[in-house]
Amino acid sequence: MITLKGENIYLRALEPNDLEFVYAMENDQNIWEVSNTHTPYSRFLVKQYLENAHQDIYEAKQLRLAICKDQDFPAIGLIDLFDFDSKNNRAGIGIVIQTVENRKLNIGSEALELLIRYSFYNLGLHQLYANIATENEASTALFTKFGFQKIGVKKDWTFVNGKYKDEVIFQLINHSF
C-alpha cells in the first residue's frame, strides 16, 4: 500500500488553518515565476480556495497537498498535481518549498517521490510532466533525479522582469502498466 508519509515528511490535504501559509506562499513574489502567478491573492480568495479544497481530483482536476515535516507540524511547502486528465491518464506536477533552509534538506526530493508513487500506483496515471524554466537548475536536477526526461523547449514562453524566458517540459512515463 502506498502512503503519503515518508521517512522525514508527510503530505496531507490542505486544512482551513493553512490559510495564512497558503496566503503567504501565493503572495511571495520570489516564487511567482515558478508558480506561474502574476497577481497577488486576497485572504478572501485563498479562504474560498481552501473551502473548495475538499473536491475530488476528478472534479477539481487538481490536487494540492501540504508538505509537512511531521503530522503535527505546519506546512513548509506545497506539491501539486494540475491539469489532471483522467481520459489520457496524465497530470502536471509542481512543487515549491517555502524557505531556502528547507530546500536544502532533501524535503523536495522526498515529497516528489511520494507524489510520483501516489500518482502512478493510486491514481493509475501513465505519465507526469513538469514545466521548468531553463535556468532553474535545482528543479531540473530534482526532476531528472526521478527519471523525468526533457522532451522539448517552449521558446520565449514566460515574460519575467521585462524579458522572455524559455521553459523546458519534462516528462515521466510509467512503464509499469
Residue range 37-84, pLDDT digits in tens? 667 778 888 888 887 777 788 888 899 999 998 766 789 999 999 999
Percent of the chain with pLDDT over 70: 92
Residue 140, pLDDT > 90, answer yes
- Between residues 171 and 41, the one the model is more confident about: 171
- Beta partners for 153? 168
User: In terms of C-beta density within 10 A (0-12 exposed, 13-18 middle, 19 or more buried), how is residue 148 classed?
Assistant: buried
pLDDT at 55: 78
Do the Cβ atoms of 93 and 128 come closer than 8 Å? yes
What's the rounded Cα separation, in Å, for the pair 23 and 16? 12
pLDDT at 40: 77
- Among 15-19, 33-37, 40-44, the range of highest mean pLDDT: 15-19
Give the C-alpha distances (Å, rounded to integers) separating 154 from 32, 60, 150.
19, 26, 11
pTM score of the predicted model: 0.88
Q: Residue ranges of the domains in the chain?
A: 10-173
pLDDT at 1: 31
What's the rounded Cα separation, in Å, for the pair 15 and 78? 12
Neighbours of 90 (CB within 10 A): 19
What's the rounded Cα separation, in Å, for the pair 83 and 85? 6
For 10-173, the fitting CATH number among 3.30.930.10, 3.40.190.290, 1.10.3720.10, 3.40.630.30 is 3.40.630.30
pLDDT at 151: 97
pLDDT at 177: 57
Range from 12-21, 83-92, 151-160 carrying the lowest mean pLDDT: 12-21
- In tens, the pLDDT along 71-100 reads 667 899 999 999 999 999 999 999 999 888
CA 105 to chain centre: 17
Neighbours of 38 (CB within 10 A): 8
Cα 46–Cα 102–Cα 110 angle in degrees, nearest 5: 90
Task: Indicate the SS3 state at residue 86.
Answer: coil
